[in-house]
Structure 1
Amino acid sequence: MARIFIDGEAGTTGLGIRQRIEALPESYGFELLSIDPALRKDAEARRALLAQADIAILCLPDDAARETVALAEGLNVRILDASTAHRIADGWVYGLPELDEDQGALIRGATHVANPGCYPTGAIALLRPLVRAGLVPADHSISINAVSGYSGAGRSAIEAHERDGGPAFFLYGLTLEHKHLPEIQHYSGLTRQPVFVPSVGHFPQGMIVSIPLHLADLPGHPTPRDLEATLEKAYRGCDHVRVLPSEPKLLADALANTDNMELRVHGNAQGEKVVLTARLDNLGKGASGAAIQNLLLMLGL
């Protein structure tokens, strides 16, 4: 029986992970360890639970996640961190199993796994295969636009949206220094930081990440089909990522309450320009669903 401690289980991601674990077949044999809410900031109580756990899943702010990792020092517990704190840190395996052919094996054997961010999951999935294939130069000027459901925007935003008259739509991160940028750049293989413009819409769950490209600016002037074929090759056989034909309209919340992601290449009739899109649930493949995928890999299930 694998003992799982979710540090921060009362938050949106933690609740989603707990619900998914409880929905798994009993044959998986998980035992969930919980801390008394009154002791959730008590270092001694948290270390005692870490000592009992086989895997600790951290659903915490970055600084608190770093504190928990320090508390776990010397204990025989593996860490799956859903915060931003360790995604490009030395000694941590990036928890996107579809990143490379051997990424699942790396996750399976890792003691420290960093769960990806929701926006980076879509952006990296689109860009990395194209950069590695040489279709998009690593120093190319890239703009990334994205819209997420409000469930990923924090407690105050959730409360505002769930009241009548909540904001219909807003851009944020307009200092152009969003905390997901280092992760996107690093795992996409870009040498030049992209411009990233995130936004939140008045719907609970769902996400679309979109990247426009002028094909005449790319080496060899690839066609939309060239890009699509490269993505198809990269994700052939993946359970949770599919490359699908272009559609004239995409609804951002169509994959809400699923753990899947859809990638598309939308080109104009002349084949001169495209928009790459990734659609996913910001709480599914973008957070809790990804954590469960990593948890099962870490346990060899």
Structure 2
Amino acid sequence: MKLPAFAYHRAESLGEAVEVLATHGGDARVLAGGQSLLPIMALRMSNPGLLVDITAAKDLQGHVFRGRDGLVASAAVTTRRLETDPETRRRHPLVSACLSRVGHAEIRNRGTVCGAVAHADPAAEAPALLLALDGAVRVASAARRRKIAAEDFFLGPYLTALDEGELVAGVEIPLLSGTAGWSIREIARRSGDFALVGVISIVDADTANRCTDARIAVFGVAGTPKRAVAVEKALLGQVLDDEVCTEAAQHAFDDIDIVGDLHGSATYRRRVGIRVVARSLAEAHARTAVRSGE
């Protein structure tokens, strides 16, 4: 299917990009990797009059580890570049593991993490990763710069808290503690497909193996990624073992309105999702035990 007609502007900097967006208003869209935007344009789900290409913007190319902000990735950094970066693999292996599950390598070579966040597909890994880690989105426009917490950024399917003229300039992905364990698991129809059910689990424990922190984000089951708050509450203060993890997983969707579709009913997603959460918690706990030397 052919793309609709559009004008094109190649921005050389973030400042230039937001100025063009301010001039053209809602008729302009940002083009980074194009792995989400171009398909929906071909399907006529979006018909912008102008694409603002930020891939040549030098001030949007980098990623860096920075103190309390953790890993900061700018808007033009590709998924594959971050996934395979040796420092990211060493200092934040959860990020590498999550990004390795995004589509196929060809898609990751072009697509960007910030583009996936801005697209806000409820079955995508990057939004769930930000939510699980209490991350933040750096937003820029011609008038201001601001930061939006991940929990406030995703409003619905493909809907975010971005205002007209704003773009995602970067994301902040906080680091894990040295003793925390993590896991990402998902069920999909085929390798590279979007998840029917996915979960990112992070747990931490003290020397007595009592849970001191639990953050669980599920995706592919609702209009946005969701924190499984009931599971987190069930784990805190408990001595972690397989039985505790399995029992806590039963509450994974207590406060979540699961969406069914032609790929999987709400009943299917709930039943399978509970098992996926239980296995993810067990895997995260195992990594905690290894790191603490038990």
Report the TM-score when normalising by structure 1.
Answer: 0.27
Report the TM-score when normalising by structure 2.
Answer: 0.28
